[in-house]
Each structure stands twice: as structure tokens, then as C-alpha cells.
A = this chain, B = another copy of it.
Amino acid sequence: MPEISARSRSAPSSPIRRLYPLAREAKRKGKHVYHLNIGQPDIPTPQSYLSGVRQADIDVLSYAPSPGLEVALEALAGYYGRWNIPLHEEELLVTTGGSEAITFALNIACDPGDRVLIPEPFYPNYRGYAQLTNVEVTPITTEREDGFHLPSSQDIERLIDRRSRALLFSHPGNPTGVVYSEAELERLVELALRHDLFIIADEVYREFVYEGTHRSLMSFPEAADRVILVDSISKRFSACGARIGVFASKNKQVMQEANKCATIRLSAPTFGQLGLASFLADPHYAEVIEGMIGEYRHRRAVLCDALESVPGITFRRPEGAFYIMIGLPVTDAEDFVGWMLTDFPGEETVMLAPGEGFYATPGKGCDEARMAYVLQEQNLLSAVAALEHGLELYNATQKTAANT
């Protein structure tokens, strides 16, 4: 057979994919598994989103215009306006999820062999998009002790070389929940200006802020020509399956290139766009969103309070998103996560996302795991109880093994 390309072979296969068969096997044996490993919200999709799809008056389900349906672009411009992010329709593109928006951004900013700087730990799929577009990732390491806030400008600057083309980060952060301070954002903008970098700002968790305030990268006029906003309705509208994201920029040339990318792939899914327009026109929109954020705020408190009482677990309370990256009293988090699925004797167990997959630096994150608080209070408490019990047993087993 012909040889598979190097870029495909080297694309990462996530550790989570190795763990899923173990979770399936645990369930087959009758065990209940609390899935805190994925960012799949359990919040119902808003009724007005779904009715926008169900009541669509469609005779021929034709291609939507490549930049997006007019109703969707209008609705999005209105949405950003409410956030004081003034974006005209021609500065916006509806994409097939945030995933596609990031791929467009990397294609536009980078040629093969170019580099993108990403604070680590980061959303593991960033590495996938980079690998498939032949872009190298330069990690900017951040630390759990600092709540994953950014290192000094000098530390970041040391990582920039002549192939560096862009900064990419999610803000609020996945998996860290970090919300950057005003000063941090200013430093990033300053660095981008000094080194002529694009800023690819993934703000899909914009609404999910529990401490401090979120400032959009779009609000820095001095960086207007270099900011590419990546967005998605997946989490905020609990509509992951719709595959609707956004690519936005105030830079006309960037938008021209993005429109070329959009034309090549024809259009984003029509149904998802109709739902978006319908929900954004819902008079109860703000109420629905506030209710959802209130729920996550509550879960964050519940989860953090519970975790604080577990011996050996270390973390700083995340400021946003719905993730928390915790330190575990183990040396190999992936092994422990697997053990919880295969060996933990309880009737209920928990699945976490091992930390290593969120880092580009080898060896980092071995004692960490990400939890997504996408389950209701009682389930979160049961999951933490299983985790605490599991850690005790696992560490006892490890000691026994070491002594034999």
C-alpha cells in the first residue's frame, strides 16, 4: 500500500482515545462512570434554538452563502454588539464549529514550518489543527501554582523566533479556567505588536466568567489588524452537535483570505445557523444564558469545595470556563485514570482527562488531570467521593507493589 503522509502519522492520537475502551468495559460490567473527562455540557439546548431548526421553512436545502446565512450574520453582529465588540457582518464568517475557524486562522497566518505560540496546558485539539496544517507549536509553559497565569514577557519573548507567526490561546482557558487580567492581555498585545504576530483569540467561553471580568482581544484598537477572533456556540448554547462557530477579524485582507477558505469548503451547515438566529432573537435569551451561567457558577463552588477536602489534591479556583486542572498525589495520572476504570472496586467511578495530553512539553502534566463540571451537583459530589476513595486505594496498592 502507499505510504501514509508524515503529517498524518505524526498527528497526535489523544490519550483519551486509549482510555475510552476501558470506560466502555467498566460500563459493560455494570459500573456507573461519571464522565468529567469531556466538555460536553448536560444543559438542555434552548427550546428556541431547536424550534428554529424544527420550524425552518425549507423546500430545497441549498448551500448557505459561504460567509453564512444573512440571518445568522445579522444575529451574530447583534450578539457582539451587546458585548461591546462592534463587528460588521463583513467582518464575520460562520464556520463549521470553532474547529474550522482555528484551521482557517492557522492557514492564513502560517506556512508549513512556521510556529504558533500557545500557553500550555492547552486544548489538545490545537495540536491536531497545527499538525494537519504543518505548523509547529511553541508552548508557553504556565504553572498550576500560578493558577495558569502567564509568565513574564521576557520569558515569553525568549520563545519567539523568526518562524513565529501567531499567538493562540483560549480565553477563558480550556483546560485551565484561567481568565487573564487586563495587564496580562496588554502584555500579550504588546508582544504581538513588537514581534508582528497574529493573535488568534479563542473566546468560546466568553460568558463563563466567575471571578473578575473578561475582556475580548477585539477591544484593543492597536491590535485590530492582527486579532483573529475564534468563537463557537457549542458550549454557550449547549449546541455542540450543531457545528456552528465564528471567524472574525477587523483586518480586510484577513477576511478576504478567510472568505477564500470559506468558498473552498462551500458553506457551514444551514440547520445550525437557523437555530442560532432563532435563539439570538428569543426575548428570553439573556435569562436562559444567565440561568446556565448561574448553574455552572454553583457547580464550580460545589466541586471546588469538595476537592478542597480531598488529601493530596492541589488546585487554584479557576476564574472561568467549566474546567479545573488539578494536581493529583500520583506520579502517573494516566495510569491512575485507567486504574479508576479497570481496578477501582466501587460501583460508581469517575473518568478524568489525564494532564499530559494538554501539554506540548514532554513530561509536563504527568501528575495532573482535567475535570469538566458538566454534571449536576449530586453527581459531582459522588464523583469526588469516588475520586477520594480511589486515590487512597491506588496509592496503597502502589506502596504494596513497591514493597514486594
Binding site for B on A (CB under 8 A): 1-9, 11-14, 17, 40-45, 49-50, 53-56, 58-64, 96-97, 99-100, 103, 107-112, 114, 125, 128-129, 132, 134, 165-166, 196-198, 225-226, 234, 238-243, 251, 253-254, 257, 260-261, 263-272
Contact = CB atoms under 8 A, between A and B. Distances in A.
Contacts of A50: 58, 61
A243 B267 contact: yes
Nearest to A6: B111
16 contacts: A1-B251, A2-B226, A8-B107, A11-B257, A41-B62, A45-B60, A50-B58, A53-B53, A60-B238, A61-B238, A63-B234, A125-B264, A129-B264, A241-B267, A242-B269, A243-B267
A132 B7 contact: no
Contact of A111 (B7, B197, B234, B238): B7
Contacts of A99: 264-266
Given A269-B242, A270-B241, A271-B242, A2 B197 contact: yes
Contacts of A165: 2, 5
Nearest to A43: B60
Contacts of A7: 107, 111-112
Contacts of A108: 4-5, 8
B271 A62 contact: no
Contacts of A253: 1, 4
A257 B128 CA distance: 12
B44 A59 contact: yes
Contact of A272 (B14, B40, B60, B271): B271
A8 B260 contact: yes
A265 B286 CA distance: 29
B43 A266 contact: no
Contact of A61 (B6, B129, B240, B268): B240
Given A8-B257, A96-B265, 10 more contacts: A1-B225, A4-B254, A5-B111, A7-B107, A45-B58, A64-B241, A103-B265, A125-B265, A271-B271, A271-B272
Nearest to A63: B240
